[in-house]
Amino acid sequence: MMKRSFPSISVVMFPLLVALAGCMPGLPSGKMDVTSAEYSNLSGWEREDHPRLIKMLADECQRIDKLPAGTFLGGARTLPSGQHVEDWRNVCAALADVQNGDDAQARQFFETWFQPYLVVKGAFYTGYYDPEVPASLTKGGAYQIPLYRRPKDLLRGRNANGELEFGHWVNSVFRPYDDRAAIDGGSLEGRGLELAWLKSPLDLFLLQTQGSGRLRLQDGGEMFVGYDGRNGQPYVPIGRVLVHKGEMRAEDVNIKNIRAWLEAHPDQVKPVLEANPSYVFFRPVERKAEEGPMGAFGVPLTAGRSMAVDRRLIGYGMPIWADMSGKGRDGQAVIWAQMTFAQDTGSDIRGAGRGDLFLGWGQEAANIAGNMKDYGRMFVLVPRTSLTLAPNVPAGQATAGGGQTAK
């Protein structure tokens, strides 16, 4: 067996895209079948770098402490706690006692303050990364594809269900913004929205798929861009389009194979990409070369540790023990089990046990992300609101170790 390796990253914070406001209802929480588990069920838990996990949890607590009372972090109603900032107050307060502790103290902290729950459905993991593409700050030569910033009249708000929506007002009705075909056709030209110019629509596709990136400029400089909203049109995965066209098998769908197919069929690039009407806009961000992008939770993403999840089912900040197996680039079996944290989300990340692991940047991260389609198990570590009581398990359900399912 071989283990995956991930590039290490040091990160800093830049402004958050999606505000978690206490006055907003947040996403409706749904059902996710879970069953209580023991730490002995977490393969490799005893070998984890527990002090590093404490550091990541402390960074999350700093974010949580800044949120208004009543803020909804997300999460299924079948999880005993963790959906609101109040559920984390005692956990975060107790962190001060172990900030400089040894591995045994750090491990004991998690085992004391968090109860593992296994997602009954099983898990499916993919990976994403911070891509690098060539770009120019001026249009000319090979650089003809605009990378747009968000138009000023593109607004964001919450619908009746508390879900985030993007659009604009048309005759007093809030509607989605121009779709991809209209934008590709020039609907935004002449408005000064171009951040940069790219060589290929495939480079734009890559940036929009990953949600952030690094632009390698003609003069040797570097520009970082981050997600700044979308047009509000429905998201249609390009892989699904190719499968429906009979051009690719579902099991072969990944970013690497999609790009290879598009490069081999240049006459099909425009119609295939425009089959996805959703369009992502960007903004310039300040960060150093060794720094990673900001996740939707408002903390920087860490390679191999930050997970994008369906926030309807797993709330921001939740520790997640990811246990997956698959095949490496050389076809050998790969096993990987490690603690991650729910710090991001994505348009195609939907359902119980669905996780998208941030892998960093560079060719290694791109290769791993391109090949990651792994099944396994997912354990959600739910914070205890108090040490005087067991987690608030729904009536009739077992507490830790009982092996019953919360429905």
CA 320 to the chain's CA centroid: 13
Angle at 255 (CA atoms; ends 254, 258), nearest 5 degrees: 85
Strand partners, 335: 3, 325
Of the listed ranges 12-21, 155-164, 211-220, 283-292, the least confidently predicted one is: 12-21
265 CB-side CA count, 13 A: 15
Confidence band, pLDDT 50/70/90 cuts, at residue 399? very low
Residue 305 CA to residue 321 CA, distance in Å, equals 10
Domain extent listing, the chain = 134-285
**For the purposes of burial, counting CB atoms within 10 Å of the CB of 128, is it exposed (0-12), middle (13-18) or buried (19 or more)?**
buried
Average pLDDT over residues 2-9: 36
Start-to-end CA distance of the chain, whole Å, equals 36
Does domain 134-285 bear CATH number 2.40.240.50?
A: yes
Give pTM, 2 decimals: 0.75
**For the purposes of burial, counting CB atoms within 10 Å of the CB of 221, is it exposed (0-12), middle (13-18) or buried (19 or more)?**
exposed
Nearest-CA neighbor of 33 among 96, 117, 126, 108?
Answer: 117
CA 196 to the chain's CA centroid: 25
According to DSSP, residue 143 is labeled B
20 pLDDT above the threshold of 50: no
pLDDT at 394: 37
- H/E stretch holding 267 reads none
Pairing of strands 155-158, 145-148: unpaired
CB atoms under 10 Å from CB of 381, counted, come to 22
Residue 188 CA to residue 168 CA, distance in Å, equals 14
Q: What percent of the chain has pLDDT over 70?
A: 85
Q: 3-class DSSP state for residue 263?
A: helix
How many angstroms separate the most distant Cα atoms in the chain? 68
Average pLDDT of the chain is 85
CA 209 to the chain's CA centroid: 11
Nearest-CA neighbor of 298 among 353, 227, 351, 362?
Answer: 227
Q: 3-class DSSP state for residue 300?
A: strand
Angle at 349 (CA atoms; ends 344, 352), nearest 5 degrees: 105
Residue 17 neighbours by CB under 8 Å, 6+ apart: 226, 227, 228, 229, 294, 296
Q: What percent of the chain has pLDDT over 90?
A: 64
87-144 pLDDT, tens digit per residue, is 999 999 999 889 888 999 999 999 999 999 999 988 999 998 999 999 999 999 999 9
85 versus 289: the higher-pLDDT residue is 85
Radius of gyration of the chain (CA): 22
Phi and psi torsions of 57, nearest 5°: -65, -40
Residue 18 CA to residue 344 CA, distance in Å, equals 11
27 pLDDT above the threshold of 70: no
Nearest-CA neighbor of 354 among 320, 384, 385?
Answer: 320
Residue 35 neighbours by CB under 8 Å, 6+ apart: 117, 118, 120, 403, 404, 405, 406
210-254 pLDDT, tens digit per residue, is 888 999 998 889 999 999 999 999 999 999 999 999 999 998 888
